[in-house]
Amino acid sequence: MVIVSESSNGENKQEDYITDYIQSLERRVKELDVDKKNFEAKYLKLDRELAGLRAEFERIKSPPMIAATIMDVLDDGRAVVRSSAGPNFVVAVSQFIKPSDLKPSTRVALNQRTYSIMEILPSKKDPLVLGMEIEEVPDVSYDEIGGLQDQIRELRETVELPLLKPELFKKVGIDPPKGVMLYGASGTGKTLLARAVAHETKATFIRAIASELVQKYIGEGARMVREMFELAREKAPSIVFIDELDAVGARRLEMSTSGDREVYRTLMQLLAEIDGFDPMEDVRIIGATNRPDTLDPALLRPGRFDRLIFFPLPEEDARLAIFRIHTKSMNLEKKVELSTLVSLTQKATGADIKSICTEAGMFAIREGRDVVEHADFEKAVSKVMPTNKLMEVSEFTSKPEKMYGY
């Protein structure tokens, strides 16, 4: 009896052991199943990464393409293109490009070897690509401008008023001036004032440097001008500020090189844009130059840049005001006498005065001080204002005697 009960006990134990073992195996299977799923997910992720890297590798390996502009589309499906720096070509078009996408002035990418059109490039007006600066409402106010009271008043009347109170012009029955030309030596505050007007009118400030329009993008100057005005309309109210206008607007004596013709084409496009827009539109144009005597009279004709505003070197009062503006947030010792500095900086421009203040601060830092002393300013004046400053100042520190078309 005892023996039987012992043997059934043993069997029970064995059964328990087997059940436990099976359960543990089942748990293990479940764990392995979860692991398997995790690995599968990881595999998928890595596979996608690998495909991405392979594609990137292929992109890196493929030769660069040439950017070009379509000039004409031929009846046989080919196109005439102008590459950005070269001659015109008649080229084939990849079968993956829809013929309806091929339009004159569309930008495309060409295969480097066969010159066939491989891609249509986006014609996005990206101001960085265009070599322009764009500021959504600059942060400079009139308070940050020393002197230039008359210039501020005139610019407010010609640029600010038409943007803020167009109805005034309608009531009186006159068109506001379309374009204003600021002229004067470099660093006299032309850009600063134009930005301040944009700030005051909450307008987008688009700044293009005319010399870059013609030099940086050979063969593209006219397109740049067109796109700049399109951008200005999209971002209206806006102020288009064209610096170094003489680079495209100099009087033409002789057009001998292709470079001259390029400059001429850019100027023509600029004139067409100015003529084409309605003076009541909320886009204003401000040009700036330090060589107004060389400008083509065509630019200064009524309805174009017909208001000229001269930026002189700052007088004593203005210099003091500019010193105050640029030292406002500086930690100055009590002994700093701005009025003495004013008499030491007779031929200085606003930009010179700003550099003097920065240099003075640098002298203090170099000597381990956090307070700027009068001597720092004196050293800065002799560094920034060489004795021959008079010679260095651009020709136009006073109004030129003769202005074409003015």
Binding residues for ligand ATP (CB under 6 A): 145-148, 186-192, 243, 288, 290, 322, 325, 350-351, 354
- Annotate 193-249 with DSSP letters as a single string: HHHHHHHHTT-EEEEEEHHHHHHTSTTTHHHHHHHHHHHHHHT-SEEEEEESTHHHH
Contacts of 217 (CB under 8 A, 6+ apart): 84, 131, 223, 224
Tokens of 359: 């240099």
Tokens of 234: 């999209």
Tokens of 187: 């660093």
> Distance between CA 323 and CA 338 in Å, rounded?
7
Kindly tell me which of 114 and 141 has the beta carbon lying closer to ligand ATP: 141
Is residue 72 within a helix (H) or strand (E), and if so which, with residue range?
Answer: strand 66-73
For ligand ATP, the nearest residue by Cβ is: 350
Distances from the Cα of 317 to the Cα of 147, 180, 375, angstroms: 7, 26, 22
Distances from the Cα of 115 to the Cα of 70, 91, 97, 214, angstroms: 12, 6, 14, 25
Kindly tell me which of 93 and 198 has the beta carbon lying closer to ligand ATP: 198
Kindly tell me which of 178 and 195 has the beta carbon lying closer to ligand ATP: 195
Shortest distance, CB of residue 284 to ligand ATP, whole angstroms?
17
Kindly tell me which of 189 and 221 has the beta carbon lying closer to ligand ATP: 189
Indicate the pairing of strand 283-289 with strand 179-184: parallel
Shortest distance, CB of residue 327 to ligand ATP, whole angstroms?
11
Shortest distance, CB of residue 219 to ligand ATP, whole angstroms?
26
Kindly tell me which of 108 and 210 has the beta carbon lying closer to ligand ATP: 210
Shortest distance, CB of residue 313 to ligand ATP, whole angstroms?
10
Closest CA to 137 of 16, 236, 70, 66: 236
Shortest distance, CB of residue 188 to ligand ATP, whole angstroms?
4
Kindly tell me which of 217 and 323 has the beta carbon lying closer to ligand ATP: 323
Kindly tell me which of 72 and 317 has the beta carbon lying closer to ligand ATP: 317
Shortest distance, CB of residue 190 to ligand ATP, whole angstroms?
4
Shortest distance, CB of residue 194 to ligand ATP, whole angstroms?
8
177 CA to centre of own chain: 26
Exposure on the CB side of residue 209, measured as CA atoms within 13 A = 10
3-state secondary structure of 103: coil
Shortest distance, CB of residue 67 to ligand ATP, whole angstroms?
30
Kindly tell me which of 279 and 400 has the beta carbon lying closer to ligand ATP: 400
Kindly tell me which of 139 and 367 has the beta carbon lying closer to ligand ATP: 139
Shortest distance, CB of residue 101 to ligand ATP, whole angstroms?
41
> Distance between CA 359 and CA 383 in Å, rounded?
8
